[in-house]
Amino acid sequence: MNLRRLGKTNLMVSEIGFGGEWLERHEEAESINLIHHAQAQGINIIDCWMPDPKSRDIIGKGIAGSRDKWFVQGHIGSTWQGGQYVRSRDMAFVKPAFEDLLARIGGGYIDLGMIHYVDSFEEWDVCMNGEFIDYVHELHRKGIIRHIGLSTHNPLVAQRAAKTDFIEMILFSVNPAFDMRPASENLDDMFGEYDKGLSGIDPDRAALYQLCEERDVGITVMKGFFGGALFDPNRSPFGVTFTPAQCIHYALTRPAVCSILCGYDTVEQIDQAVAYETASDDERDYASVIAGAPLHAYKGQCTYCGHCKPCPMNIDIAMVNKFYDLAIQQSAVPESVRAHYEALDVTASACIGCQSCEERCPFGVEIATRMEKAAELFGR
């Protein structure tokens, strides 16, 4: 299992993670076995947004005896009221709900204390002013939460979070379909009808990925499979089928993304996700699917898919393009981006303009021109 550094938290997390929301569907022993199997495959990060006692008990029992080998995303503001999930900022419910999470997970701490589900600026203002955020900071000062994170589906809210000096990582919804959607305060909009003619990534989402990369704010991914709709051509907004490996690869090729948290019902589904680690380039290839989709395309945009390989000069074209895209969004090249670019074994200046890469690009990107521009921008 490949590990990635989760931004400024410095936690080394498995790039395939565990989204825990399906655990309550099964008998406790069966779900505990799923966690044990995931750990045996090298998965070491799990999300617990769920407030129900059953899900929390399953996770606590599943990681018991190996608590130090797991990184838990535990949510602050996800409460259980009258047998129902309620998102709340009322401290009369928030504190007992978090204390319950802490007790059921075990170990006396939560690795990633997540400010739960903030999708509107109004909700942001409520969370960031008053008792709620004071409580989050208190937990952090005491070491009860090791790092502060935030979960959202709205890229504009996520940008606000990334610009703070205390939110170290973000749980965000990432998949090819969502990336074509403009920001919204209503999650249901993301699953609505996709108008024909949409083309390429939404600018606010692209800006978010760039901002997080620049500020070293790690992203973990939820809803990477679009609720399973991407596996069904009749439900997919693209009119074609993706595989789990393709969806995983799409998420993991976004700037700042460190781990995709998949939901699992069976050990076979865990194995299917983990098989990404040994999948071939062809098996991971989401770009050809998007490029050939009847309803949507990313024409002219680099998606960092790697189809351009191999380069006769051994340039990592996808990475050069990624750093170039990050840099041109700013008035001056951020030092962090420059450092990453200069750490490449071969930079854009080595391009000989053969354009063999362009013949392989499914999106018609003018790669040789971009290499010239990158070399000029970075000075090498």
Fold of 3-282: TIM Barrel (3.20.20)
* Rounded CA separation 256/254 (Å): 6
**Per-residue model confidence as pLDDT tens digits over 210-235:** 999 999 999 999 888 887 778 888 77
pLDDT at 249: 95
Helix pair angle (335-342, 317-328), 10° resolution:
160
pLDDT at 86: 82
Torsion angle of C-alpha atoms 109, 110, 115, 117, degrees rounded to 10: -140
Pair 260, 288: CB distance under 8 Å = no
For residue 340, what are its two tokens? 């990453």
* Long-range pairs of 287-294 with CB within 8 A, sequence gap ≥ 24: 287/362, 287/363, 288/362, 289/238, 289/240, 289/241, 289/242, 289/246, 290/176, 290/238, 290/362, 291/362, 291/363, 292/240, 292/362, 293/238, 293/239, 293/240, 294/238, 294/239, 294/240
Angle at 112 between CA 110 and CA 115, to 5 degrees: 110
pLDDT at 236: 78
pLDDT at 195: 59
Domain range summary for the chain, segments of one domain joined by +: 3-282, 317-378
The β-bridge partners of 73 are 47, 112
Pair 219, 226: CB distance under 8 Å = no
* Rounded CA separation 261/17 (Å): 4
* Rounded CA separation 198/68 (Å): 45
pLDDT at 196: 54
pLDDT at 203: 87
Pair 31, 40: CB distance under 8 Å = no
**Per-residue model confidence as pLDDT tens digits over 279-318:** 999 999 888 888 877 767 666 777 776 768 789 998 989 8
Instruction: Indicate yes or no: pTM above 0.85.
Output: no
Identify the burial level of 33 via C-beta atoms within 10 angstroms of its C-beta, where 0-12 means exposed, 13-18 middle and 19 or more buried.
middle
pLDDT at 190: 59
* Rounded CA separation 226/203 (Å): 20
pLDDT at 231: 86
Which stretches in the chain have pLDDT values below 50?
A: none
* Rounded CA separation 85/41 (Å): 31
